[in-house]
A and B are shown apart, each in its own frame.
Chain A
Amino acid sequence: MDDSRTIERTAAQWLARRESGAWSARDQQALEAWLEQRTEHRVAWLRLHAAWEQAGRLRALAAGLPPGQVPERGRWAAWAAGDGAPAASPVPDLRALRFAPRPPSRPARWPRRLAACLALAVAAGAGWGAWQLSGRQQAHYASAVGQVREVALADGSRATLSSGTRLAVYLDRGQRRVVLEQGEALFEVARDPARPFAVEAGGYRAVAVGTRYAVRREAGALRVVVTEGRVRLEDLPGAGTPRPVSLLPAGSVATAGGDGVLVRSLPVEEAQRYLEWRDGFLVFDDTPLEQAAAEFNRFNLRRLELADPAVAALRVGGHFRWSNLDAFVGLLEQGFPVRAERHPDRIVLYAR
């Protein structure tokens, strides 16, 4: 019997053939026979059919564009990411502006200098833009709370988004840039010495050439876990007084805050444990319950709240499925002097 992927491919072939224009009554009969054969066929076909019908809405995008030309990728990226109307033209490449020296603030010469700078910026922008045009790509990814999502990036790297994560990816010929807007993600970086891979978050950036590492963003802090290769953690360019650069070999768990970077070197297997959320687990080892609760809360909309400081200070260890908050609370009730009050949107723990 065909497996589900084969069925899906076959369904797609039917649909594509039906769209091809050369579709006879015989074809239609054959398709109907195939659909009747197994319910699996029908549901696979319905799914693709529904999506393809929806895709017809894309026709709205063609308005005002020259016919017969496929617009470049990322044309609607800014709009798709959030606000505003669809951009009439591609998003201007503002990064080109850094090629222009900053005009010194001398009022008398201001207009002339400004004009010169603008001209330079425009020229640099045009050249830089033209050079990059074909190589530029931009994409935005997000995961909902409770969802872990893997995405393949256009350069061959992979990103795994932890619960409640948002990131933006900018690729061009010279660099690979990821802005981690929220949450945590693991990056398996495709090797490309000519294009460093940089993840930016909270005033820092973690740069790698080809490696595997996770970056996590929290209020006021950033955590980088390296499980393969080597990562350079440095300031974002132009972010005030430069702080020292940290080199992080595999096994490093670095926590960066406003005050600097704290690096712990662990055996790689131990560092891996920070990434078990990927497989659906949270791992605690003599962890204060307060911290464990915060971890669970990253992954669940139903919150775990601690009513007493005595409860918050309890230390827990073990391997837990983050999707199963109830089981975790059940174990706590069995093993610790706590009492749980269960509400639909939260569970509150009291000292017993």
Chain B
Amino acid sequence: MLNDLDAWFVREILVHERALAGYLQRCWPHRDELHDLRQEVYARVYEAARRERPASPRAFLFATARHLMTDRVRRSRVVSIEPMGDFESSNVYPIDELCPERWTGGRQALRRLVEALDALPDRCREVVWLRRVEELPQQEVARRLGISGRTVEKHLAKGMRLIADHLFGGDPARGRGAPAAAAPLEEGHGRQQDD
């Protein structure tokens, strides 16, 4: 159900998430806002591309991030610790032009996936393995693990989020707290809020 624009977005924009996250993190002092900032950058890029695809998606992504931060500073009238000049600095580019984040295809991608899988909390990891790798039906997974189908779904949803964070490697989501959180203690879904 992906349309052309969706596919473009995944291929040309999401691949830069790690670089984008690094950039946002360096420029924006409020860590708890990084997740939201990232999402808004994506939404703006997507909307702009709906009208016209930018010729250089990567540069466009960073320019959008820069404008968004400028807008937010203006809107909130909060005096940033850093001079605005920081947003303008272009030294984000060299970082991963040298090591492009091409996570699709290849062994590198499989490696990252393996890391992502191993970093999942125990129960979540079991569910992801049985559902995504072995492709057992949800009810079968629920039966084997002795949990309800609804709980399987919850673990799956959580696994999807954690895997995306790890795979795209950006993870500004948690500011403190990384994609690679192998935290067996966290498996109870009572704590899903703070993974």
Q: Does A148 belong to the interface (CB within 8 Å)?
A: yes
Are B125 and A73 touching (Cβ within 8 A)?
yes
A234 and B94 alpha carbons, distance in the complex (Å): 39
Q: Does A128 belong to the interface (CB within 8 Å)?
A: no
Q: Count of A-B contacts with CB under 8 A?
A: 219
Q: SS class of chain B's interface: helix, strand, loop or mixed? A: helix
Which of B51-59, B71-79, B114-122 faces chain A?
B114-122
Q: Does A88 belong to the interface (CB within 8 Å)?
A: no
Are A324 and B182 touching (Cβ within 8 A)?
no
Nearest Cβ on chain A to B36's Cβ, whole angstroms: 4
Hey, which chain B residues are within 8 Å of A32, CB to CB? 1
Are A51 and B94 touching (Cβ within 8 A)?
no
Q: Does B67 belong to the interface (CB within 8 Å)?
A: no
A156 and B99 alpha carbons, distance in the complex (Å): 31
A213 and B139 alpha carbons, distance in the complex (Å): 47
Are B153 and A151 touching (Cβ within 8 A)?
no
A55 and B14 alpha carbons, distance in the complex (Å): 15
Are B14 and A137 touching (Cβ within 8 A)?
no
Are B180 and A321 touching (Cβ within 8 A)?
no
Q: Does A229 belong to the interface (CB within 8 Å)?
A: no
A8 and B161 alpha carbons, distance in the complex (Å): 8
Q: Does B188 belong to the interface (CB within 8 Å)?
A: no
Q: Does A47 belong to the interface (CB within 8 Å)?
A: yes
Are A39 and B47 touching (Cβ within 8 A)?
yes
Contact with B along A144-156 (1 / 0, CB 8 A): 1111111111101
A60 and B160 alpha carbons, distance in the complex (Å): 18
In chain B, residues 15-30, which have Cβ atoms closer than 8 Å to a Cβ of chain A?
Answer: 17-18, 22, 25-27
Given contacts A39-B47, A43-B43, A55-B128, contact A154 B182 (CB under 8 A): yes
A158 and B174 alpha carbons, distance in the complex (Å): 13
Q: Does A302 belong to the interface (CB within 8 Å)?
A: yes
Q: Does B109 belong to the interface (CB within 8 Å)?
A: yes
Q: Does A194 belong to the interface (CB within 8 Å)?
A: no
In chain A, residues 110-167, which have Cβ atoms closer than 8 Å to a Cβ of chain B?
Answer: 137, 139-141, 144-154, 156, 158
A70 and B161 alpha carbons, distance in the complex (Å): 20
Q: Does A50 belong to the interface (CB within 8 Å)?
A: yes
Nearest Cβ on chain B to A172's Cβ, whole angstroms: 13
Given contacts A40-B43, A76-B114, contact A58 B157 (CB under 8 A): no
Residue of A nearest to B31 (CB): A279
Hey, which chain A residues are within 8 Å of B111, CB to CB? 79-80
Q: Does A20 belong to the interface (CB within 8 Å)?
A: yes
Are A58 and B153 touching (Cβ within 8 A)?
no
Q: Does B103 belong to the interface (CB within 8 Å)?
A: yes
Chain A interface, number of residues (Cβ within 8 angstroms): 76
Q: Does A168 belong to the interface (CB within 8 Å)?
A: no
Hey, which chain A residues are within 8 Å of B39, CB to CB? 4, 7-8, 40, 43-44
Are A15 and B157 touching (Cβ within 8 A)?
yes
Are A301 and B113 touching (Cβ within 8 A)?
no
Hey, which chain B residues are within 8 Å of A4, CB to CB? 35-36, 38-40
Are A12 and B158 touching (Cβ within 8 A)?
yes
Hey, which chain B residues are within 8 Å of A37, CB to CB? none
Q: Does A19 belong to the interface (CB within 8 Å)?
A: yes
Are A58 and B113 touching (Cβ within 8 A)?
yes
Are A139 and B183 touching (Cβ within 8 A)?
no
Are B160 and A52 touching (Cβ within 8 A)?
yes
Hey, which chain B residues are within 8 Å of A64, CB to CB? none
Given contacts A55-B132, A323-B91, contact A12 B182 (CB under 8 A): no
Q: Does A56 belong to the interface (CB within 8 Å)?
A: yes
Are A154 and B184 touching (Cβ within 8 A)?
yes
In chain A, residues 214-249, which have Cβ atoms closer than 8 Å to a Cβ of chain B?
Answer: none
A76 and B114 alpha carbons, distance in the complex (Å): 7
Given contacts A47-B14, A68-B134, contact A17 B180 (CB under 8 A): no
A153 and B1 alpha carbons, distance in the complex (Å): 37
Q: Does B191 belong to the interface (CB within 8 Å)?
A: no
Are A51 and B167 touching (Cβ within 8 A)?
yes
Nearest Cβ on chain B to A15's Cβ, whole angstroms: 6
Nearest Cβ on chain B to A142's Cβ, whole angstroms: 10
Hey, which chain A residues are within 8 Å of B185, CB to CB? 156
Q: Does A30 belong to the interface (CB within 8 Å)?
A: no
Q: Does B60 belong to the interface (CB within 8 Å)?
A: no
21 contacts between A and B (CB under 8 A): A3-B36, A4-B35, A17-B153, A39-B46, A39-B47, A46-B9, A48-B160, A55-B163, A55-B167, A62-B133, A139-B180, A144-B96, A147-B18, A149-B178, A150-B177, A152-B177, A158-B176, A158-B177, A302-B91, A321-B86, A324-B91
